[in-house]
Amino acid sequence: MSKKNIGTVIVDEDNSPNPEQFSFVLTKTEEEFQLQKGMYVVVPTEDGEVLASVSELYKTNRYFSSPSAVRAYQTSGKTLASIFPADRWEYIIAKAKPLGIITEIGIQRLLFPVSPGENVSIPDNNILIKFLGLEKDNGLNIGTIEQHDLTVKLNLTRFLQKHAAILAISGAGKSYTVSVLLEELLSRKAEQGRVAIVLFDVHGEYKGFGDDKSPFHKYVNVFPGGLVQFATSSMSARQFAIYEPQITTAQTRDLSKVLSQFYHEKVKQGDSYVISDIIKELENNEQMNPRSKEALIGWLYTLDRTRLFGSAENPDLKNILEPGKIIIFDLSDFTSIKLKQMMVNYILFRIFDMRKKNEVPPTTVILEESHQFCPEARIDQAISKSIIETIAREGRKFFISLVLVSQRPVKLSTTVLSQCNTHVIMRILNPYDLDYIGRSSEGIDRSTMNSITSLGVGEAIVVGNAVNHPIFVKVRKRKISTLETQTLEESAKSFDS
Amino acid sequence: MAVQHKVDKAIDEISKRIRTYNEHRKLFQDLFREVKHSLNPAEFPEAFDIQTSDNLFSLKVPKTNIDGLKIAGIDGGVIHRSLNYFDIALIRAVGVLFYHVKDSKPLVRYIPEEQPFPDILTSIEPLTHNEIESLISIWRMQKEIKCGITLLEEDLPDIIILDGSVLPNIDYRQISQSDFLVSQYRKLKAQYRRLYTLCQNNRTALCGVVKDSRSAILTNKLSALLPHLSKLPEFAKLVEIDYRPIIKQLRDTDLLYQVLDTNERTFEFLLSNFNDELDKDLPDFSIHCFYMKTAEFDTPLRVEFPLLFSTQHEHAQTISSLVNAVSKYNPEYGLPSVIIEADARARLQETDADILVDEIASKIGYTSFSLQKRRNRLPFK
């Protein structure tokens, strides 16, 4: 283990060192070493090395410690710094939070304080990789821990199997981070383990991935939302009821009878049917209550007018989902949230069903603006909420994982967010969102929470299952340049011309 | 109730006495302040019994530009532990040299270094408490003077300012019973002599600044002089009041705090001769002194200097102008900047001595507690 001594543990006024905290004075000059908040340090003990993260940094200088003296000296017309060698009295004190102790039997919780006077040094990157639970080679490279120049490679399983959430205000770099994640997933070789990817692109931001200039275009299928069609014959009466919540239980039962009849008469014979066939059959049915029948037919007409229901599924999900490839559903042309929710519901329902039967590869579903699809609000206001919650709860067993992207975490379903075991948190300012994240993110402490508002664009905190401890990451530069976004001026000029 | 009444009465009486004394003192100081420029200390050689080259009681300190000057300050730090079987002292001295550069912060040099490790000195000599205190003072001064000698050997400062007296102030009667102490004192005096000589040869001014001086040399002399002034009309008001009890209790700095203006000094006067019976065959150095007010809200400094070159008056003017130039930055704290820095560098922490005592105790098989004197290890506070 290489050592770079940078400081010495001191006895501080806050009863430290203690098992939760210790302070050290930086023994290097600022020119020799730049200590930064969030940096990791190690301190030797008899049982092993204690790894800690720098949680606070402050400078002290005896010449400037008394406000009255500073003011008094300034009255001479000279600054204190010009009278005394004040710079020689400037010290940097750091407070560090021990994360654990690296012993022969592994990483353990620290139950005793480090000793005052001990050397503080910067750990070797290999130690950090092991301690933080990162990958050396096969992981998803999402960026770096800047202070250590350490590439953050997240283990695929740890990051995705138990779902992830990317949360940030608009403009903090969510989409950028998603595209970096996509690049990593699409760059994986078969021997590394590849997943099929489904992305619901609400704003049409990711179409560039399929551009000819994109190095990934061979693995990308951009599918316009307008061409999506549900295979009516593959749907149950319950699904119709989800799409049109006003269909009553009795009507669902009647519809189910018709669908069952069609299954035997048509589907088993290799035929299919559409909503108009169902309506015709219902019209001829004299056993149903006429008023209930009329209403059901009305709801079915409404669904038929969405033009989403056809005789065959488009795209054919069973064939289009391939390992190492992505299908991007471009929903940017749709203004109706209901239609978008119906599409998300249908596609996820189908993928989940096919994964149960192992008919499609393990799949990662990325859902932009996910608060629109699984809001905390009532279920009848979000058609897709139920299937997203089901996948969040049970998807892990069938290797279908969710990556939820949202700028309003407080509006996201609690059930779904709590099932996302890894959170990539970028800049968030809304106090309600922050509070909500604090309650739903496991392993996030107060000091990390306080840092969220001060994150810069492209900076993120990764917390949860993918890492052993919360880490601050500078998201790496993406490789593709086909996702250029327009400025307001550019957009205005383009419209004018 | 009766007890409470007695206490209240006693407090009232004390308060009244203090108030009366303060009013009286203030009156005396104000009157003295009014006549200070009329008093020529050289005019009454017998009555005043003071040798001075200045013919005014107070003089304006000349302004000086310190750009390009090298000003040094020396201070020492001591921590002493008196244990059952031995005495231990941690001692260090730091010299600070500021090279003042125009429109910039001073370039600084430390002698021997920025934060020198203290000397650990122990004595198992059978000495009395007073002798031990004297020994430690001697050791501290030896360290400080050695620092000054090194400064002069390695650099050419324009002035060296010592923290405290410029004399080896040891009560010879207290050390004369111990040969060991006498030898240490001789060594110290030799060092002082070398420092003075080096300063003389290099034409480096040397002085010691005493903060919070308890000396009453001036007030005592004034007390003797004032009756002789009663015939002079300008002093009439001053001598009319009952000044005797006031002046008896006043120390020099108490009086001068109200009497001197900022950037003003008293006349310089001969304080003592450096020689004593131990080195009467060696060349003599006369030590002079003045008080100077460097900060409006701080008591005057007592500045002592050996007359090494130049005339008494000129030497006092040079030293006062240099010391004032580096002391006048803070209206509430008028100590030279080099002394403030040297003090901060030399100061030792009590814990440093504790650690040392613990280490020694563990090596000799005692607990550090059992080494402490009984008065320091009371089971109850």
The answer, yes or no, to whether the previous bond of B112 is cis (omega within 30 of 0) is yes
Residue contact B344–A87, C-beta within 8 A:
no
B276 close to B198: Cβ distance less than 8 angstroms: no
Q: Domain ranges in chain A?
A: 5-123, 152-224+323-496, 231-309
Distance CA B167, CA B306 (A): 9
Closest CA to B279 of B160, B196, B201: B196
Question: Could you tell me if B25 and B165 lie in one domain?
Answer: no
Question: Could you tell me if B201 and B263 lie in one domain?
Answer: yes
Q: A11 to chain B: which residues are within 8 Å by CB? A: none
User: Which of B108, B331, B340 minimises the CB distance to A88?
Assistant: B108
One DSSP character per residue, A428-472 reads ---HHHHHHHHHHSTT--HHHHHHHTT--TTEEEEEETTSSS-EE
Q: Does residue B285 lie in a domain region?
A: yes
Interface probe for A, chosen from B330, B343, B345 (most Cβ of A below 10 Å), is B330
Q: How confident is the model at residue B373 (pLDDT cuts 50, 70, 90)?
A: low
User: How many structural domains compose chain B?
Assistant: 2
Question: Could you tell me if B194 and B232 lie in one domain?
Answer: no
B181: containing domain: 60-215+251-348
Q: What global pTM score does this model have?
A: 0.73
CA atoms within 13 A on the CB side of A103: 11
CA atoms within 13 A on the CB side of B259: 27
What H or E segment, with its residue span, contains residue B172?
A: helix B172-175
Distance CA B254, CA A366 (A): 82
Q: Which residues contact A185 (CB under 8 A, 6 or more apart)?
A: A140, A194, A195, A197, A324, A326, A364
Question: Could you tell me if B65 and B101 lie in one domain?
Answer: yes
Q: Does residue B191 lie in a domain region?
A: yes
Closest CA to A405 of A195, A172, A223: A172
| Predicted local confidence at residue A446, as pLDDT | 77
CA atoms within 13 A on the CB side of A201: 28
User: Which of A62, A69, A85 minimises the CB distance to B105?
Assistant: A85
Question: Could you tell me if B75 and B139 lie in one domain?
Answer: yes
Is the pLDDT higher at A210 or at A447? A210
Question: Could you tell me if B125 and B223 lie in one domain?
Answer: no
Task: Kindly tell me if the per-residue pLDDT of A137 is higher than 90.
Answer: no
- Other CB atoms within 10 Å distance of the CB of residue B356: 19
DSSP summary character for residue B74: E
Task: Kindly tell me if the per-residue pLDDT of A434 is higher than 90.
Answer: no
Query: Exposed, middle or buried, B116 (CB in 10 Å: 0-12/13-18/19+)?
Result: middle
Task: Kindly tell me if the per-residue pLDDT of B352 is higher than 50.
Answer: yes
Residue contact A84–B340, C-beta within 8 A:
yes
* Residue of chain A nearest B334, judged by CA positions: A73
- Other CB atoms within 10 Å distance of the CB of residue A301: 12
- How close, in Å, is residue A71 to chain B by CA atoms? 9
Q: Which CATH number, 3.30.56.10, 3.40.250.10, 3.90.180.10, 3.40.50.300, labels domain A152-224+323-496?
A: 3.40.50.300
Q: Which of A230-244, A380-394, B222-236 has the lowest mean pLDDT?
A: B222-236
Q: Which of A66-70, A428-432, B94-98, B120-124 has the lowest mean pLDDT?
A: B120-124
> To the nearest whole number, what is the mean pLDDT of chain A?
90
**Bridge partners of residue A60, in order along the sequence:** A91
Over residues A394-416, the mean pLDDT reads 92
Q: A72 to chain B: which residues are within 8 Å by CB? A: 330-333
Interface of B with A in 258-287 (CB under 8 A): none
DSSP summary character for residue A207: G
> To the nearest whole number, what is the mean pLDDT of chain B?
88
Task: Kindly tell me if the per-residue pLDDT of B212 is higher than 90.
Answer: no
**Bridge partners of residue A12, in order along the sequence:** A16
Interface of B with A in 326-365 (CB under 8 A): 328-333, 337, 340-341, 344
Pairing label, strands A5-10, A119-121: antiparallel
Is the pLDDT higher at B170 or at A439? B170
Is the pLDDT higher at A450 or at A201? A201
Q: How confident is the model at residue A356 (pLDDT cuts 50, 70, 90)?
A: very high
Pick left, alpha or beta for residue A171 (phi over 0 → left; psi -120 to 50 → alpha; otherwise beta). Answer: left
Is the pLDDT higher at A261 or at A73? A261
* Residue of chain B nearest A11, judged by CA positions: B351
CA distances from A428 to A227, A443, B177 (A): 36, 18, 79
Q: Which residues contact A116 (CB under 8 A, 6 or more apart)?
A: A9, A10, A11, A17
Task: Kindly tell me if the per-residue pLDDT of A433 is higher than 90.
Answer: no
State pLDDT tens for residues A3-57. 679 999 999 888 899 999 999 999 988 888 889 888 999 999 999 999 999 989 9
**Which amino acid is residue B126, in one-letter code?**
P
Question: Could you tell me if B75 and B185 lie in one domain?
Answer: yes
What H or E segment, with its residue span, contains residue B87?
A: strand B87-99
Distance CA B53, CA B264 (A): 16
Distance CA A466, CA A161 (A): 10
**Which amino acid is residue B277, in one-letter code?**
E
Query: How far is the first Cα of chain A from the last one, in angstroms, to the nearest whole number?
Result: 62
State pLDDT tens for residues B122-176. 877 778 888 888 999 999 999 999 999 999 999 999 999 999 999 998 888 888 8
Distance CA B25, CA B20 (A): 9
One DSSP character per residue, B37-72 reads GG--GGG-HHHH----S-SSSEEEPPP---TT-EEE
Q: How confident is the model at residue B24 (pLDDT cuts 50, 70, 90)?
A: confident
| Predicted local confidence at residue B375, as pLDDT | 55
Q: Which of A436-440, B203-207, B240-244, B250-254 has the lowest mean pLDDT?
A: A436-440
B333 close to B220: Cβ distance less than 8 angstroms: no
Task: Kindly tell me if the per-residue pLDDT of A93 is higher than 90.
Answer: yes
Question: Could you tell me if B262 and B341 lie in one domain?
Answer: yes
**Bridge partners of residue B357, in order along the sequence:** none
Q: How confident is the model at residue A353 (pLDDT cuts 50, 70, 90)?
A: very high
What H or E segment, with its residue span, contains residue A494?
A: helix A488-496
| Predicted local confidence at residue A107, as pLDDT | 85
Pairing label, strands A363-367, A150-154: unpaired
B188 close to B102: Cβ distance less than 8 angstroms: no
CA atoms within 13 A on the CB side of B329: 22
Task: Kindly tell me if the per-residue pLDDT of A1 is higher than 50.
Answer: no
| Predicted local confidence at residue A212, as pLDDT | 87
Residue contact B330–A68, C-beta within 8 A:
no
One DSSP character per residue, A269-325 reads GT----HHHHHHHHHH--SS-HHHHHHHHHHHHHHHTTT-EESS-BS-HHHH--TT-
Q: B114 to chain A: which residues are within 8 Å by CB? A: 88
Question: Could you tell me if B299 and B206 lie in one domain?
Answer: yes
CA distances from B169 to A355, B90, B273, B276 (A): 95, 20, 12, 12
State pLDDT tens for residues A455-496. 888 899 999 999 998 899 999 998 877 665 677 788 788 778
Question: Could you tell me if B34 and B89 lie in one domain?
Answer: no
Interface of B with A in 114-143 (CB under 8 A): 114
DSSP summary character for residue A16: B
- Other CB atoms within 10 Å distance of the CB of residue A8: 15
User: Which of A73, A82, A85 minimises the CB distance to B330?
Assistant: A73
Over residues B252-276, the mean pLDDT reads 91
Distance CA B95, CA A209 (A): 70
Over residues A265-284, the mean pLDDT reads 91
Q: How confident is the model at residue A104 (pLDDT cuts 50, 70, 90)?
A: confident
The CATH number of whichever domain residue B176 belongs to comes to 3.30.2170
Question: Could you tell me if B195 and B289 lie in one domain?
Answer: yes
Residue contact A69–B333, C-beta within 8 A:
yes
Q: What percent of chain B has pLDDT over 90?
A: 52
Task: Kindly tell me if the per-residue pLDDT of B27 is higher than 50.
Answer: yes
State pLDDT tens for residues B285-295. 899 999 999 99
Most confident of A238-242, B46-50, B159-163: B159-163
Question: Could you tell me if B110 and B27 lie in one domain?
Answer: no
| Predicted local confidence at residue B378, as pLDDT | 57
Q: What percent of chain A has pLDDT over 70?
A: 97
Phi, psi of A438 (to 5 degrees): -55, -40
Q: Does residue B79 lie in a domain region?
A: yes
Q: Does residue B316 lie in a domain region?
A: yes
